[in-house]
């Protein structure tokens, strides 16, 4: 039997986390060959994640150039040569990174159908998040299978004219990843978070500079105001984040600055947190699983589901607002408790199974699939 070949192109930490469940679900299908391509966009942080999920890339591209622009130009050429050589029947990309966009573009030019995981997230502000909003909109223009994580994402795609039959509501694969690691390592929400630490992450490009410094000053203010609380901050490896984080926060007794955590380490840190301050997309989606109240350090979010469900609040990268809102939650257990009592609005842990089913129906249709499609 000639197996159908599926290429998965990805390059950053969050893409690896969100594509790992898809990779494993597809590899379980005997009719498919699955190739994982790592673009090299993230180095050490990607290696940690690949290890966490037991993935060895089939193709490893070389990253050259420190800037996103230089990476992009070089990677596009490497991907085109790769796609021209391979006989992929489908190319899968996830989200909104440069790697995802370049993978979709390379496949599109070589007439390989593109499938998009986490399709339809939007702020409709091309400046925020930059460049992700532009990248994900462009991926939607060239993809032919759109896997929407939520009903809101599905509606956005429909409004943009994507035919309903090209969209599948799957749930977010990050919940699958989280459930997988928690089950394997016995991590359970045990109701102790009120005693836990404050967990902080920050890396968004559009907040670099003044706004990121304001955020770190707010964390320092909180550490001084709530000296009984420990602050845990795994710092993104980008020097643009490392430098101000260390300048502003080093030396505070109750603040721990660490290297980025592997996925298991991060889930342990999250389950034991009493409060999360973050500009991360993935952490906004993971926190509700453990009922961790979340303050989003951005002006907008493409994940309003968490805000609407009552488990997250948008405070922006603003020193006063962060200190005020965080202190309210730390000082008033009832206010924090209200944010904990929700189920995760982003997924049920079955997204990868739904995606694998859709891939099989397209590439290896049974008579029944063919009848449904006709
Ligand atoms: C505009 C935007 O929002 N774009 C997002 C962006 O991703 P992000 O903002 O979620 O990125 P990060 O915050 O780097 O990663 C988060 C993940 O990493 C884990 N983690 C974190 C720190 C650590 O020390 N150890 C860890 O294990 C953590 O648990 C979580 O799962 O790109 C993705 C791909 O396109 C998109 O899906 C997503 O929309």
Backbone angles phi, psi at 32, to 5 degrees: -115, 145
- Ligand 1 touching residue 120 (CB < 6 A): no
Q: Residue whose CA is closest, atom 37 of ligand 1?
A: 95
Q: Residue 214 C-alpha to ligand 1 middle, in angstroms?
A: 21
What confidence tier does 369 reach under pLDDT thresholds 50, 70, 90?
confident
Task: Assess contact for 18 and 46: CB atoms under 8 A.
Answer: no
Q: pLDDT (tens digit, 9 = 90+) per residue, 115-139? A: 999 999 999 999 999 999 999 999 9
User: How high is the mean pLDDT of the chain?
Assistant: 95
| Cβ–ligand 1 contact at 281 (below 6 Å) | yes
177 contacts: CB under 8 Å, gap ≥ 6: 17, 18, 20, 21, 53, 263
* 116 included as an active-site residue: no
DSSP 108-120: HHTT--EEEETTT
For ligand 1, say whether the CB of 294 is within 6 Å of any of its atoms: no
Catalytic residue status for 354: no
Q: Kindly report, residue by residue over 299-348, the tens digit of the pLDDT.
A: 999 999 999 999 999 999 999 999 999 999 999 989 999 998 778 999 99
pTM for this predicted structure: 0.96
Is the complex ipTM more than 0.85? yes
Query: What are the pLDDT digits (tens) for 286-312?
Result: 999 999 999 999 999 999 999 999 999
Q: Is 332 noted as a catalytic residue in this protein? A: no
Task: Provide mean pLDDT across the span 256-273.
Answer: 96
Domains in the chain with CATH codes: 4-171+350-373 (3.40.50.2000), 192-340 (3.40.50.2000)
Is 15 close to ligand 1, i.e. is its CB under 6 Å away? yes
Residue 137 is predicted with a pLDDT of 98
Q: Is the CB of 129 under 6 A from ligand 1?
A: yes
Shortest-distance atom of ligand 1 to CA 178: 31
Q: Which atom of ligand 1 is nearest to the CA of 18?
A: 37
Spell out the residues 6+ positions from residue 230 whose beta carbon is closer than 8 angstroms to its own.
197, 198, 254, 255, 256
Spacing of C-alpha 215 from chain mean position: 21
The residue count for the chain: 374
Say if residues 104 and 93 touch (Cβ distance below 8 Å): yes
Q: Which of 9, 13, 41, 93 to mutate to test the pocket of ligand 1 (most atoms within 8 A of CB)?
A: 13
Tokens of 172: 């977010």
């Amino acid at each position: 039997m000639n197996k159908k070949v599926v290429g998965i192109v990805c390059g950053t930490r969050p893409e690896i986390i969100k594509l790992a469940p898809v990779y494993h679900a597809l590899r379980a299908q005997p009719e498919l060959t699955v190739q994982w391509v790592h673009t090299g966009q993230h180095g050490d942080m990607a290696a940690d994640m690949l290890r966490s999920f037991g993935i060895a890339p089939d193709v490893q591209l070389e990253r050259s150039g420190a800037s996103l622009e230089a990476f992009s130009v070089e990677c596009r050429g490497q991907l085109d040569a790769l796609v021209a050589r391979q006989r992929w029947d489908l190319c899968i990309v996830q989200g909104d990174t440069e790697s995802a966009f370049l993978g979709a573009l390379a496949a599109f030019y070589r007439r390989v159908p593109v499938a998009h995981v986490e399709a339809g997230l939007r702020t409709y502000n091309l400046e925020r998040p930059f460049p992700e909003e532009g990248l994900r909109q462009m991926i939607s223009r060239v993809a032919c299978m759109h896997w929407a994580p939520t009903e809101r994402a599905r509606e956005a795609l429909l409004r943009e004219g994507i035919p309903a039959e090209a969209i599948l509501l799957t749930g977010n694969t990050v919940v699958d990843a989280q459930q997988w690691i928690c089950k394997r390592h016995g991590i359970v929400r045990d109701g102790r978070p009120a005693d836990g630490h404050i967990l902080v992450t920050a890396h968004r490009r559009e907040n670099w500079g003044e706004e990121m410094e304001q955020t770190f000053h707010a964390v320092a203010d909180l550490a001084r105001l709530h000296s009984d609380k420990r602050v845990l901050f795994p710092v993104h490896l980008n020097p643009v984040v490392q430098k101000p984080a260390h300048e502003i926060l080093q030396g505070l007794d109750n603040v721990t600055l660490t290297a980025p955590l592997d996925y298991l380490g991060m889930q342990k840190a999250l389950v034991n947190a009493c409060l999360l301050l973050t500009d991360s997309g993935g952490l906004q989606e993971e926190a509700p699983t453990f009922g961790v109240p979340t303050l989003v350090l951005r002006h907008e979010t493409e994940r309003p589901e968490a805000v609407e469900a009552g488990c997250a609040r948008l405070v922006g990268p603003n020193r006063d607002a962060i200190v005020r809102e965080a202190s309210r939650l730390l000082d008033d257990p009832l206010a924090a408790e209200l944010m904990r009592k929700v189920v995760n609005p982003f997924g049920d842990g079955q997204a990868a199974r739904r995606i694998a089913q859709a891939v099989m129906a397209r590439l290896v249709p049974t008579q029944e699939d063919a009848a449904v499609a006709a």
